[in-house]
Amino acid sequence: MARAPSALPNPQGSRYRADTMTKHHAAASVDRTVRAVLKDVLALGDSRVAAFDDNTPLFGALPELDSMAVAGVLTELEDRLGFLIDDDEVDGEMLETFGALRRFVERKVNG
């Protein structure tokens, strides 16, 4: 049975501290996961993906990212991070740059 969160021990010390650490961790792991998904689904090299920054253009600039690959990237992100993306959330903007995609995924993860 689920217990009320307040009844759980807090190994990180104060509540405030635990929340801060959780969010910090999420941002780093989202960045890592988005890079890993692009690498795995588009079959890109490690160095190429590691060099992506927020302004790196994706859709329309990466020949590997065609419409079929878009579906694979989004579904793989859903599976790895445990959220669902509605079709009407998918637009050209969220896939325009690496930064846009990373920020979109961060918003989904942090609900």
Which one among 42, 49, 58, 100 touches another protein, defined by CB under 8 A?
A: 42
* Shortest spacing between CB 67 and another protein, in angstroms: 4
Q: Is residue 38 involved in binding another protein (CB under 8 A)? A: no
Residue 63: how many other CB atoms lie within 10 Å: 8
* Shortest spacing between CB 57 and another protein, in angstroms: 18
Which one among 53, 67, 92, 111 touches another protein, defined by CB under 8 A?
A: 67
Count of residues that interact with another protein, criterion CB under 8 A = 23
Residues found near another protein in the complex (CB under 8 A) = 33, 36, 39-43, 64, 66-72, 74-76, 79-80, 82, 87, 90
